[in-house]
Amino acid sequence: MNRYITTTLPYVNADPHIGHAQEFVQADALARAWRLAGDDVFFSTGTDEHGQKIYEAAQKAGQEPQAYVDHYAGEFKRLKEALGLSNDAFIRTTDPRHVAAAQEMWRRCAAKGDIYKKTYAGLYCVGCEAFKTEKEIIDGKCPLHPNAELKEISEENYFFKFSDYQEKLLGYLERPGVIIPEWRRIEAINFVKGGLEDFSISREAARLSWGIPVPGDEEQVMYVWFDALTNYISTLGWPADAEGDFKRFWEEGTTLQVAGKDQVRFQSLMWQAMLLSADIKNTDTVFYHGFITSGGQKMSKSLGNVINPLDLVATYGTDAARYILLRHLSPVEDSDLTLEAIREHYTAHLTNGLGNLVARVMKLAEANLGSDDITTMETQPLSADSLDDFQFNKAMDLIWAHATRLDEYITNEKPFAVIKDDPEEGKKMILSCVTQLHAIASMLAPFMPSTSDTILTAIRENKKPENLFPRI
Ligand SMILES: [Zn+2]
């Protein structure tokens, strides 16, 4: 099967945060699990680099916008490497290839009659990059950005006929599985039933130059959302190479987008309406993860409870960071994470848990088994469909349950003692332990790829590896 998977593109007006890291490793675990199952996978991520917020942040930093976004794209690439992501593409929305795609998307929607111009006056929130309606304003402020002043703006903009897509979107949302978790699909259906308003998809270039020019109207640039959403297909080479990866993975494959829970309107509605307008296949599934709090509160510099994903990797290592993000956070609900909890999980489940088990089994194997024993060992096939329900944490619980059982087996059945009285039986028992460990390492591959590799190599070479998770 051809499978396409993508994260949302982080907006590069700030450093990467732990929520980005969660989304990245969720997508990466799925991509890896599918590849192991024999699927052809295209895994994409990247950075969203236009818009007013970025323009203003660059000005504040005294930089040209391009230099500013180059710096942050670098930071996100650094995080991607720190987390060991196996992505096949990294698309930046300032990439000329993407710019051409966003303009083609515009032309298609315009040709359909879905784009029109009108004068718009209203209160604009730079934080949201959107005009706010009466009911979205509380005490004269955007509740999402209470520190940003709303700006009174009147200008001519292009609009997208979102209201025309109400019925079609309801048709799209009919299929269970088009949004995961299910309750967010219901949320999306209710939102559409509440009525869709056409939305503005351009800004006056005189006011905001940091955007993709609207085809045929140099006085307007695209609204950052309209531009950025097209990345999901520009990364596949659309439209220039529409017969290549785009055809293979988007049109003929199954497509999955991974996004944060605040993205339903953008990913499952606006983007899907754009695809409908351009006569391009809709996304098969959008999976929404929850948010991460720390100590019951939103992470913030002033509270001092920010968990920086790069620091997490620097302290505990790539696989331990992936472990924390995949096993100790809910895949779809909001989760709480503190530095104390991370340390406890690391010590209990990695240092004393898996790390200790690997040392225990491999010490026995190295002392008592020969290479013949290893090469003739019958290994168990990996169950590859375990992530189809997106329950990363439960899939890992299962692996740790295997590990605990193996540990208890060694403690209770004492192969290390048996081998002294009955070498043949003892050897059989130890070989069985190694077989179990092999299964555990195989199951770990999508989640903790380098740990999995290290264990499998240790088994193949019949040599106890270096301490996997040193005490910290
Ligand atoms: Zn706002």
The three state secondary structure string of 212-261 is: CEECCEEEEEECHHHHHHCHHHHCCCCCCCCCCHHHHHHHCCEEEEEEEH
pLDDT tens for the 472 residues of the chain, in order: 999 999 999 999 888 999 999 999 999 999 999 999 999 999 999 999 999 889 999 999 999 999 999 999 999 999 999 999 999 999 999 999 999 999 999 999 999 999 999 998 889 888 887 788 888 898 889 998 988 889 898 889 999 999 999 999 999 999 999 999 999 999 999 999 999 999 999 999 998 889 999 999 999 999 999 999 999 999 999 999 999 999 999 999 999 999 999 999 999 999 999 999 999 999 999 999 999 999 999 998 888 899 999 999 999 999 999 999 999 999 999 999 999 999 999 999 999 999 999 999 999 999 999 988 888 888 876 554 568 899 999 999 999 999 999 999 999 999 999 999 999 999 999 999 999 999 999 999 999 999 999 999 999 999 999 999 999 9
Pick the CATH number of 2-289 from 3.40.50.10470, 1.10.1060.10, 3.30.390.50, 3.40.50.620: 3.40.50.620
2 alpha carbon – ligand 1 mean position (Å): 38
Give the active site residue among 20, 80, 289, 349. Answer: 20
pTM over 0.75: yes
Burial of 247 (0-12, 13-18, 19+ CB in 10 A): middle
Catalytic residue status for 109: no
| Dihedral in degrees, nearest 10, Cα atoms 22, 449, 452, 340 | -30
Q: Degrees (nearest 5) of the Cα angle 429, 434, 437?
A: 130
- Tell me the domain boundaries of the chain: 2-289, 338-461
Report the separation in Å between the CA atom of 212 and the middle of ligand 1, taken as the mean of its atom positions.
Answer: 22
Reply yes or no on whether 20 is catalytic. Answer: yes
Residue 142 among the catalytic residues: yes
Closest by CA position to 161, among listed 152, 169, 151, 153: 169
Point out which residues pair with 257 in neighbouring strands. Answer: 6, 286
Could you say which of 53, 109, 125, 289 is catalytic?
125
Q: Is there a cis peptide before residue 146, judged by omega within 30 degrees of 0? A: no
Max Cα distance, the chain (Å): 90
The length of the chain in residues reads 472
- The correct answer on CATH 1.10.730.10 for the domain covering 338-461 is yes
Give yes or no for a cis peptide into 16 (omega within 30° of 0).
no
Gap from CA of 302 to ligand 1 centroid (Å)? 20
**In this structure, what token pair is assigned to residue 368?**
């008592």
What's the CA-to-centroid distance between 23 and ligand 1, angstroms?
23
